[in-house]
Amino acid sequence: MDGQDIKDTLGKNIKILRVRRGLSQADFAEKADISITFLSNIERGIKYPQPNMLSKIANTLGAKVNDLFTANLETGDDNELLRHLSEDMTKNVNLAITEVFKRYGLI
């Protein structure tokens, strides 16, 4: 694994963990006290944060620093993300249907 591979893995893992926690780049950047541009550059493998920033990012994600470098972190990520999206969509559709039924006096 070369330097670019490490940056790419780090960036992908930060994005995976951020998305799993339902945080936008803006929300995460604010919580981690970094700029959105810097976060975007890290996630795209362009920039590499200093060790103290890595620690801050890991803490904000509720992870350990070494978790950010785990090559197989994305295994199952698509299924996990789809499950969360499906749950959110189902919840929102059910709420919308309930509101329509209430509006027309059906419940």
Report the amino acid identity of residue 98. Answer: T
pLDDT of 56 strictly over 70: yes
pLDDT of 58 strictly over 90: yes
Confidence class of residue 45 from pLDDT cuts 50, 70 and 90? very high
Delimit the domains of the chain by residue range. Answer: 3-75
pLDDT of 76 strictly over 60: no
Query: Could you tell me the fold of the domain covering 3-75?
Result: 434 Repressor (Amino-terminal Domain) (1.10.260)
pLDDT of 55 strictly over 90: yes
